[in-house]
Amino acid sequence: MSYPDALYLSDKGEITGRLRTADTAPDLSIGGRTRVHYLATGASTGGQYGLYRWEMGAEPSGGGAHFHKTFSESFFVLSGTVSLYNGERWASGSSGDFLFVPPGGIHAFRNSDGPATMLVLFAPGAPREAYFEELAEIVASGRQLSEAEWTDVYHRHDQYMV
């Protein structure tokens, strides 16, 4: 494996780093149970990756078994216990545990034992915040979607439920 083609062509560096401090308010709340911090979106990284801090409250929450066709997804547990599904079995992930799922890989997650926080990485950087925001709106409105409507939501956001 070799380095990819250069993305930056100048011989002089630039001052372009962006610091986001830990006390920055979350960008989104889903049902009052999950807070999402948009650390680096696909748009802000030029499509290279998307990185989100996912904070789950005391009540169990998380995504059911699914896969994606256009990007990989990785989970790094920061605190608490996160149940991680690798398509074959569930495992209890704790601080420092990591799960990588390539495109097409079946996976799921949920907090199962109180509050938990993890980093979620999508590569390349898909526009996942549109999906998160649509979920938050559905939850906030109390709308009940039919199976066909859920399938439409999922497929528009490259999510295929198993």
Q: Is the per-residue pLDDT at 30 higher than 90?
A: yes
pLDDT tens figures, 47-59: 999 999 999 999 9
DSSP assignments along 63-111, one per residue: PPSEE-SS-EEEEEEEES-EEEE-SS-EEEE-TT-EEEE-TT--BEEEE
H-helix or E-strand containing 28? strand 28-30
What per-residue confidence (pLDDT) applies to 43?
95
In the DSSP assignment, the letter for residue 24 is S
Q: Is the per-residue pLDDT at 157 higher than 90?
A: yes
Residue appearing with tokens 């986001």: 20
8 A C-beta contact, residue 159 and residue 66: yes
8 A C-beta contact, residue 113 and residue 81: yes
Give the whole-number percent of the chain exceeding pLDDT 70.
100
**Relative orientation angle of helices 128-141 and 147-156, to the nearest 10 degrees:** 150
Beta bridge partners of 36: 28, 54
* Cα–Cα dist 111/103, whole Å: 23
What per-residue confidence (pLDDT) applies to 113?
84
What per-residue confidence (pLDDT) applies to 85?
96
Average pLDDT (73-97) is 97
Average pLDDT (63-70) is 96
Q: Give pTM, 2 decimals.
A: 0.93
DSSP assignments along 103-116, one per residue: TT--BEEEE-SS-E
What per-residue confidence (pLDDT) applies to 112?
80
Which CATH number describes the domain made up of 28-161?
2.60.120.10
Instruction: List all residues 6 or more positions away from 96 whose beta carbon is below 8 Å from its beta carbon.
Output: 76, 77
8 A C-beta contact, residue 71 and residue 60: no
Q: Is the per-residue pLDDT at 63 higher than 90?
A: no
Domain ranges of the chain: 28-161
pLDDT tens figures, 103-156: 999 999 999 889 999 999 999 999 999 999 999 999 999 999 999 999 999 999
Q: Are strands 82-85 and 90-93 parallel, antiparallel or unpaired?
A: antiparallel
Q: Is the per-residue pLDDT at 27 higher than 90?
A: yes
